[in-house]
Each structure stands twice: as structure tokens, then as C-alpha cells.
Chains A and B, each alone.
Chain A
Amino acid sequence: MSILLYVEHDGTDVNEATLKAATAASQLASYLDNAEIHALVAGQNSQAVAEQAAKISGVSRVIHVDNAAYAHPLAENLTQLTKGLMDNYSALVAAATTTAKNFMPCVAALLDVMQISEIIKVNSANGFERPIYAGNAIQTLESSDDKLIITVRTTAFKTATLDGSASITAQDSAVNTASSTFVSAQLSSSDRPELASAKIVISGGRGMGSGENFALIEKVADKLGAAIGASRAAVDAGYVPNDYQVGQTGKVVAPDLYIAVGISGAIQHLAGMKDSKIIVAINKDEDAPIFQVADYGLVEDLFTALPELEQKL
């Protein structure tokens, strides 16, 4: 049977995370007699998204459900919609974003199966690897469930190309449970690259001392075209908003270059960045654990190092 890929979007564009999940779906399909991959686009006025999804490599059909019930990705409505479609599919795959993490386990529960959370590798038709204990251990498992509900750790898979040409099937199966309603959103807007997909990330920790001091990081980020992240300590202290958090329970990133500034390197933070290609740590405490994972460590006060770095770039 086929695989259903949940397409995350902002009403205009397919989220890059979905393109990573598409690669995982393709790998799974190769173990399932090259099962077809269908992409589910649920939204309101989301024709542009459906057209983009039709180009995702490996996708043979887009199921497009355009209805006000899906204007916001409410878990209750998405769950009912997806569960209804799963009669025809043997697997549901989505990137492990906050949207998918919200509704995918609901679908699993209603289908009476366990979700397979944040896979980093596909080993067989029912075999996967996933990190546990903040990435300090890797679990290799086989699912005995007849349907697979899978979220994908996006840093572990390549981005699928957009060279396909799938057919688009419009479906109107609106479910509005109305038990939860959207009230408001405060989304960060920034001209910088998105944290989850940026090639370079520079993050600040408690050592930054204040939100104002993040200006030092911003200047370096501007020079490098980097996204800005933070440790939990910096977010908890109110220096930067929650969506900056990199770590076990925040965003997991694996850029080509990760620069950790004033971050001690708690295991919860390392969980979110240790798969980066090159890690740089700047910290005045030479015993900070961050240096154990850093390719290049600079023991220096960040308040002298950052301005100098900006100047030398």
C-alpha cells in the first residue's frame, strides 16, 4: 500500500522540513515494493501549496483539501481528516515540526498503533533508528503495527528536489470538531534565514548576559548570513523568544557551521546541534563541556571576541 506524506506549509509555500520528510518517505517506499507516495495538503486558499507539493520528487499524487477548517493546523481537525484517509495507506510520514508532533500521535492512537518519533534512519519496511535520551543513545527498532505513523528528524535526511509532476486531486472532506479554536499567533519575523534550515547558525547562551547584548551576535550573523539561535538558559532568561531555542526540546539543527557563544554545553543543548558539520565554541571557561564537541574552540571573553570576529569577517 501507499505512503501518505503530510505537507506542512504557511498557506503559500511548502515548508522545507516537508522536503526532508519526503526523502525519508522515498526511502521507506523503496522497501515497500516502491509504494506510491501521496502528499496531503490541507489548508485554506492553498492552491499554490498544492501546486508546489506536486513537484516534490517521488510524490505521485497530491490530495488537496481546501477548507476553512484547515486555515490553522488544529490537531483535532487534522487528526480526523488524516485518520479518515489512512484506510488507503500503510504509512503516514511527516517532518517532526511542532505541527506534526501535535497531531500525529492522535492519529496513531485512533488507529491503535504506536508512533515512531523522530526517525533518523530507515532500515527496512518496518525498521528504523531514532535518538533517545537527548541523542545520547540511538534506538534501533522494528514496529509490529500494521500501519506506520512516522515523524522525521529533518536534520538526518536530504532535501527532496522539486522536479516532479504529480497529479492534484481535490477532496472536500471537511471536519470541524470546533472543540478547539484558534485565537491568535505571535510569530517572529526576521529577514535572516530560518533557524531549522540555515547553512550557518550562531547561538548565544547565558553568557550573553542580556537581550541587548545579542546585538553583538546579530552583527556577526549579518556578516555571515547566519540564523540566530540560543540555549535554553538564554530563552528562559528572556534574552530572546522561545523559537530561538536549540536543544532536546527546542529546534534540532545541523548546519554546515554552528557557532556557540557563551554556551556551556549542557547535554540538552548538545542534543540540538551536535550533528552540525563544523562546531565553533567561544567561551571564557576553558572547562565548558561545549569544547568537547567543538572542532574549533576559542577560550576568550565573548565581549572581546565577538566584535573582533565581526571585524575580521
Chain B
Amino acid sequence: MKILVPVKRVVDYNVKVRLKADGSGVDTANVKMSMNPFDEIAVEEALRIKEAGNAEEVIAVSIGVQQCQETLRTALAMGADRAILVKTDAAIEPLAVAKILAKITADVGADLVILGKQAIDDDSNQTGQMLAALLGRPQGTFASELNLADGKIAVTREVDGGLETLSLSLPAVVTADLRLNEPRYASLPNIMKAKRKPMEQLAAEDYGVDLTPRHNVILVSEPAAREAGVKVANVAELVAKLKSVGAI
């Protein structure tokens, strides 16, 4: 079995984003970029499935600017076997990403696609579900545990009320939640080795997918700021304050 893991290059989760003055978006110039944290978890899970003898190959794919190859090198250093960079300088939405991924999934013959459940930049939480729908495959989103057996995959999912387990027939699409695993750090020898692993470069236009955004972004603005509060000296003062404003 082959596993495809799409990875996205995003502003590092520790960075407090700054907005461009003209309201056109988030300033990403000279900002630390990293692999979307949920995608790291997806890579890790794919590697664990391979290491358990349930998959032969883990293929990482990223769609975006040339620098996405750094994100792919991270996936290769973690242990992915090869990588595909689908290059585009355009801002590309989940629907177009899912369409390209559907073609790549078929091209490489992946029986399992594991994605992060959402990217921490646009917070859309759509790509995995869209991919599953376009491929007509069952999906297990927000996964916190996977078990492969007899051509099926049991997916434990984090849902609003707690946990839920589904059984999916393969091929399938899974999206990773936070507690699926703890991603490994790439060791220095593996980072060196990753430089020699194959990375195919393609252009998004080659897939015949309409990349035109469906959402016209008019403005990206600061959220309403909270006014600075006060420090209270002790619990008694806290309770008095809360009572005075009718909060308790």
C-alpha cells in the first residue's frame, strides 16, 4: 500500500502574525515558515503505518511556492520516501488543492491519504473532506487513533461529545487531529539523507484544474481588541469585582 501525505507550508505556529497595512492579507515576508503542525502529525502517522509493515511507500506532496520544497524536505527528513512539489505562485483554495490532490492520488496509486485536519493559516478545515468526496472514498476526519486490519481502517475520531470510532473500507482518506501521535524530530543524518531523496517538480497548471479563487478577499483586518484589564490583589477582591459587575 502507498500512503500519500499532503503537507502545507504555513506561518510557524509560534509567530504572532502581522497584517499588511493595506488590508490585503497577512505579512509573510521574513516570517518563520514551517510545516502545518497537523500535517506533521499526518506524516508521522504514515511513517508509523509503514514501519509496522502495513505500507510500502510514503509520498509527501505540497502545492505552492518554490519554498514549499523546504517543507517537503522536512517530510523526507522525517522518513517519507519521496516527494512531489506542485508549483504555483497563485493563492490557491482548498477546492483547487483537493482537485489536484485527487489527480495525484490516482497517479501514484495511493490507497490511503492522510492529511492534517486543518491548516493553521486559513483555518478552513476543508481539504481532506473535499478530497474524499471527489475521490468517492470514505473519510475519517479528526482522527486520534488508527488501526489497520483486513482491508479496513478503524478510525477513532475526536467529536464534540467525546470520541467516536468508525470502520472505513480502503481506499480511504483520513485527517489527523492533535492527539493522533507526537511527531518525531528529524535527526541530523536523516536531514542529510533527505537531500538525496527524489523530489519531483510539477506545475499546478499541468493538472488542468481551474485555480481561480472562488472567494474574493476584500479585506483582512485586525479583530476587535480587548481593553486592558486590571490585576486584583487577592481572591476576596476578585469575588467583589465579579459581584459588582453582576458576573456571579
Partner-B contacts on A (CB < 8 A): 74-76, 79, 97-99, 101-110, 112-118, 127, 131-145, 177, 179-188, 196, 200, 224, 232, 235-236, 241-243, 248-249, 251, 256-257, 267-268, 274, 277-280, 286, 291-300, 305, 308-309, 312-313
Contact = CB atoms under 8 A, between A and B. Distances in A.
B168 A110 contact: no
A140 B121 CA distance: 15
Contacts of A267: 16
A148 to B, nearest CB: 10
A186 B162 contact: yes
Classify the secondary structure of B's interface with A.
mixed
Contacts of B144: 242
Nearest to B158: A242
Interface stretch (B1-9, B186-194, B225-233): B225-233
26 contacts: A75-B141, A79-B133, A101-B141, A105-B126, A106-B132, A109-B134, A116-B215, A140-B218, A140-B219, A141-B216, A142-B218, A145-B214, A180-B166, A183-B166, A185-B163, A235-B179, A236-B178, A243-B162, A249-B178, A257-B247, A278-B242, A294-B229, A296-B229, A298-B235, A308-B235, A312-B239
A59 B217 CA distance: 31
Nearest to A184: B165
A137 B133 contact: no
Contacts of A196: 160
Given A248-B120, A249-B178, A179 B241 contact: no
A180 B214 CA distance: 30
Interface string B155-169: 001111111111111
Contacts of A313: 239, 248
Interface of B: 11, 13, 16-17, 19, 26, 38, 93-95, 98, 117-118, 120-127, 129-134, 137-142, 144, 154, 157-169, 172, 177-179, 213-223, 226, 228-232, 234-236, 238-239, 241-242, 245, 247-248
A127 B158 CA distance: 31
B245 to A, nearest CB: 7
Given A141-B217, A242-B144, A312-B239, A76 B17 contact: no
Contact of B223 (A131, A241, A268, A296): A131
Contact of A138 (B120, B220, B229): B220
A179 B242 contact: no
B135 to A, nearest CB: 10
Classify the secondary structure of A's interface with B.
mixed
A296 B242 contact: yes
Would you list the 3 A-B pairs with minimal beta carbon distance, nearest first? A106-B133, A109-B130, A105-B129
Nearest to B161: A187
Contacts of B172: 180
